[in-house]
Amino acid sequence: MSHTIDFSEEEIAAVREQADREHLSGREERVANLARLGLWDASRLTFNERGMKIKAILIGDPNSSEAELAVMFPYLFGEHNSEQKAKLEQRLLELSLAWVTERGFVFLNARGHKVMRDVYWLRH
């Protein structure tokens, strides 16, 4: 992450937290923090240009790898029991596509959401 030199650790952490936890509770506090740091566009209800640059760095390569797609397809569309789901979630974690909540649930991170959108696009 050599491009992160232009951004503070606090800015990077705030963008990562919002990108990873976008659909979880506490959004108001995260948005307030992003606004305080000058990373939020309130009129568009999303990151501003600076926030988007940090998010792009966090997401990384704009192209999903074969390994990322190979795990995301069955994770999203496959029928699986709890053991198979756990193996898929472990693979997501190994590929840095997900994170584990304080309660032990696995959620996609910013990169995982990007790969998920690619899978939906490829499927349709």
pLDDT tier for residue 50 given thresholds of 50, 70 and 90: very high
pLDDT 10s digits, 54-79: 999 999 999 999 999 999 999 999 98
Helix (H) or strand (E) holding 41: strand 40-41
Percent of the chain with pLDDT over 70: 97
Task: Tell me the whole-structure pTM to 2 decimals.
Answer: 0.85
> Dihedrals φ, ψ of 48, to 5°?
-85, -170
C-alpha–C-alpha distance, residues 84 and 77, integer Å: 13
- 3-class SS letters over 68-103: HHHHHHHHHHCCCCHHHHHHHHHHHHHCCCEEECCC
Query: Residue 53 pLDDT > 60, yes or no?
Result: yes
